[in-house]
Structure 1
């Protein structure tokens, strides 16, 4: 399969070429040694694996294939469909930019937070997997999260205290100046960073510490400049950078991202790294803290089918358009790039946590289907009921069943 760069910006391509060359340079006892594909990807400053492989091919650089970053065509079907180990949470969903720390990172961050807090209060922004181990260690910790579904998962597992459902783009005056430490892992976009920094400045006491995951320099074109803006945003709210450790937070490869990589013929296990920046709140600043941050994301209605999470755009109840669907990405049913920059995200009306994405007409029918699926009705039973009620025509049955099967299997 011919691999082409997803990011084609000329300056970015030049920088990636330098990073890849640096990543493959390795010597043991003065002798060159060939690196594995996974090693090269991990050491390429956050560049997407597809871009790293395309660069290796264009530069004619050889590498070893290894079990952490196979070409998908070297795998058996069972190997290529390996999933992230089950957790107490339902599957991560691409619409939420839900990359979760791997187990080693969770342990490392837990130790850091406990040592830094010294018995003080800890706030977690977007880092739900760190919450349970901190609770088990007796920490005074609060998880601030927008997702009711995530918080319900924790409640179902027996965690009842320290859970706050909120939008971090909005002020939280009830919690101001209350915390010694904040750990924040926002989606890697400037509007989210701005929101998380403002909430941190609001919640931290003067002298308090923030640990922030930061996108590496080759995450995308412009990432280096965005990192500089991030520093400016932090300074504007009284936060000063006191330390940074490149590549020190590692993420599990979620099922939705593995699906995208498979579409390009790749299988990459836990390749993503983030930098950890440490800030100290050195002064109070009211600049912009009371103003909401505008984050332009679509509204979704979420349904659960087993561990799967399926998001559907809201429908208009008076819309009588016949039901139909098509893949949102012209390449196929799997969205091949889950970045916010993908031109196909705007066309998605229904999106599963395993990254099947479709454009749909007559979307209210889908909402009714998923409500009944959550009530444990079978797909044939649901479709039969919809036909009898005149909500779909007989000729639409096959399409509706096919879509529901694709999204729920």
Structure 2
């Protein structure tokens, strides 16, 4: 009896097939199981294991063993202390150091031999790897106007590297790169934005390296891959090579918190992705190479090492206050999926995946930036009146609570990267070095939003 191709199976059936295949090959631990699966999310893998136990296809003892192992954390192998923590709203998963260096070598070295340059399009770790390998003079970095891009630029200057950085309103030259490396977020709208940019940047007969979602990452992954290839072909790119499971990601701190909130431990650098190599064969579309911007007007602030995103797209509610209201139990959203409906209620978001609802987000931004006199509540107010001082005290208390939250997330991040390991110590020292580096580079240090008012 013939069976339908696996591409036509339901996502749950495919996950169960991959699980049984790995288990029958002798895999006996949950972390090894995740490494064998094609990017299946840990919660989806556990759900599949429960279904297999319920249907009698694996033993109850094996199911219990895997469930227990899923609650035992294993630390990632490395981290990038040079960069601020990734934020879930940036959809940024960073390659581990081995993958970053492998991509830098695969893209930059052949291009340099042809006297060409490589564009690192939104992949800061590949840019850092190029600097580390002494290839910075052959590469450029293009990213959003945020703290990540600023950190890449500062790191290049500290290492005296000639790597060029372009972000915000700056642009890179079209059709000037022998190779382009990009890792688009795994959503179709991001493909429509980033693939044409990469194609526009690449020279004729150049190579575009696209890191793509593996087929087990979610139920729409097969359609997503087909859409990626279709968009690339419309832009004059021809698929030349595919390397399954080429890339491996660090588990970001925000995802570690989400997994813990969902009842699972962090299984190390478990997430993989495929590498697609395209050759620029045609003209295709041509777009100005300008860094992408967020679809929502999130205002970014730093409280210590914690990155705080505040949505200021809506006016403050009349009669509301600046309190941070809980949306989920424990405040950590137990998922990183963009499709989760609870995300729409959040307008304050930390880099540890904590979400809140604030009735007066614009007032919160002004309070943290020390620009309260710009608010209607304070404009033309007499600083000697009790109203003025009562509100200053209220904001000072809020800042104190955010400072405690920042310290908590710093400790969580250190524990995620191994407690007293070298990676954790580099994270702890990063904040202390930040002002010194800014002074060394001749830029004004950023105002600490936690300083008392008037200082």
TM over 0.5: yes
In structure 1, C-alpha distance between the alignment counterparts of 2:77 and 2:34, rounded to whole Å: 20
Q: 2:121 matched to 1:122?
A: no
Q: In structure 2, the residue corresponding to 1:46 is in which secondary structure?
A: coil
In structure 2, C-alpha distance between the alignment counterparts of 1:220 and 1:359, rounded to whole Å: 29
1:92: which partner in 2? 86
For the Cα contact (< 8 Å) 1:322–1:392, is it kept in 2? no
Q: Which of residues 163, 166, 170 in structure 1 aligns to 2:165?
A: 163
- The Cα shift of 1:352 comes to 0.7
2:141: which partner in 1? 143
In structure 1, C-alpha distance between the alignment counterparts of 2:305 and 2:335, rounded to whole Å: 23
Deviations 1:290-319 (A, max 9, x none): 799998732211111222211111163785
1:30: which partner in 2? none
1:23: which partner in 2? 22
1:111: which partner in 2? 105
Q: Which contiguous aligned blocks of 4+ residues in structure 1 show a shift greater than 6 angstroms?
A: 63-66, 290-296, 393-400
Deviations 1:152-204 (A, max 9, x none): 21233343751001489xxx6x6111000000011111111122110111111
2:302: which partner in 1? 304
1:367: which partner in 2? 365
Q: 1:103 to 1:161 in 2, by over 3 A?
A: closer
Q: State the TM-score, normalizing by the size of structure 1.
A: 0.80
For the Cα contact (< 8 Å) 1:356–1:407, is it kept in 2? no
Unaligned runs of at least 5 residues, structure 2 = 1-8, 372-383, 409-455
Q: State the TM-score, normalizing by the size of structure 2.
A: 0.73
For the Cα contact (< 8 Å) 1:324–1:360, is it kept in 2? yes
In structure 2, C-alpha distance between the alignment counterparts of 1:359 and 1:83, rounded to whole Å: 35
1:176: which partner in 2? 174
Q: Which of residues 232, 235, 238 in structure 2 aligns to 1:234?
A: 232
For the Cα contact (< 8 Å) 1:144–1:163, is it kept in 2? yes
Count of paired positions? 370
2:215: which partner in 1? 217
For the Cα contact (< 8 Å) 2:86–2:93, is it kept in 1? yes
Q: 1:392 to 1:211 in 2, by over 3 A?
A: same
- The Cα shift of 1:365 comes to 3.5
Q: Which of residues 41, 46, 51 in structure 1 aligns to 2:34?
A: 41
Q: 1:318 to 1:39 in 2, by over 3 A?
A: closer
- The Cα shift of 1:84 comes to 6.2
Q: Which of residues 43, 53, 66 in structure 1 aligns to 2:46?
A: 53
Q: 1:331 to 1:237 in 2, by over 3 A?
A: same
- The Cα shift of 1:65 comes to 6.5
Q: 2:95 matched to 1:101?
A: yes
- The Cα shift of 1:326 comes to 2.4
In structure 2, C-alpha distance between the alignment counterparts of 1:399 and 1:229, rounded to whole Å: 46
2:279: which partner in 1? 280
In structure 2, C-alpha distance between the alignment counterparts of 1:301 and 1:311, rounded to whole Å: 6
For the Cα contact (< 8 Å) 1:42–1:271, is it kept in 2? yes
1:269: which partner in 2? 268
- The Cα shift of 1:92 comes to 0.8
Q: In structure 1, the residue corresponding to 2:341 is in which secondary structure?
A: coil
- Greater helix content: 2
In terms of mean alpha carbon deviation, does 15-24 or 243-252 score higher?
Answer: 15-24
Deviations 1:312-346 (A, max 9, x none): 11163785522333223x34310111111111111
Q: 1:217 to 1:38 in 2, by over 3 A?
A: same
- The Cα shift of 1:274 comes to 0.6
Q: Give me the CA root mean square deviation.
A: 3.4
Q: 1:56 to 1:134 in 2, by over 3 A?
A: same
For the Cα contact (< 8 Å) 1:37–1:64, is it kept in 2? no
For the Cα contact (< 8 Å) 2:323–2:359, is it kept in 1? yes
2:130: which partner in 1? 134
In structure 2, C-alpha distance between the alignment counterparts of 1:337 and 1:399, rounded to whole Å: 27
In structure 1, C-alpha distance between the alignment counterparts of 2:291 and 2:361, rounded to whole Å: 30
Unaligned runs of at least 5 residues, structure 1 = 1-9, 27-32, 374-384
In structure 1, C-alpha distance between the alignment counterparts of 2:190 and 2:244, rounded to whole Å: 20
Q: In structure 2, the residue corresponding to 1:389 is in which secondary structure?
A: helix
1:382: which partner in 2? none
User: After the TM superposition, which residues 254-265 of structure 1 pair with which residues of structure 2 at under 5 Å, given as runs?
Assistant: 254-265=252-263
Q: 1:387 to 1:365 in 2, by over 3 A?
A: farther
For the Cα contact (< 8 Å) 2:144–2:292, is it kept in 1? no
2:247: which partner in 1? 249
In structure 1, C-alpha distance between the alignment counterparts of 2:143 and 2:33, rounded to whole Å: 34
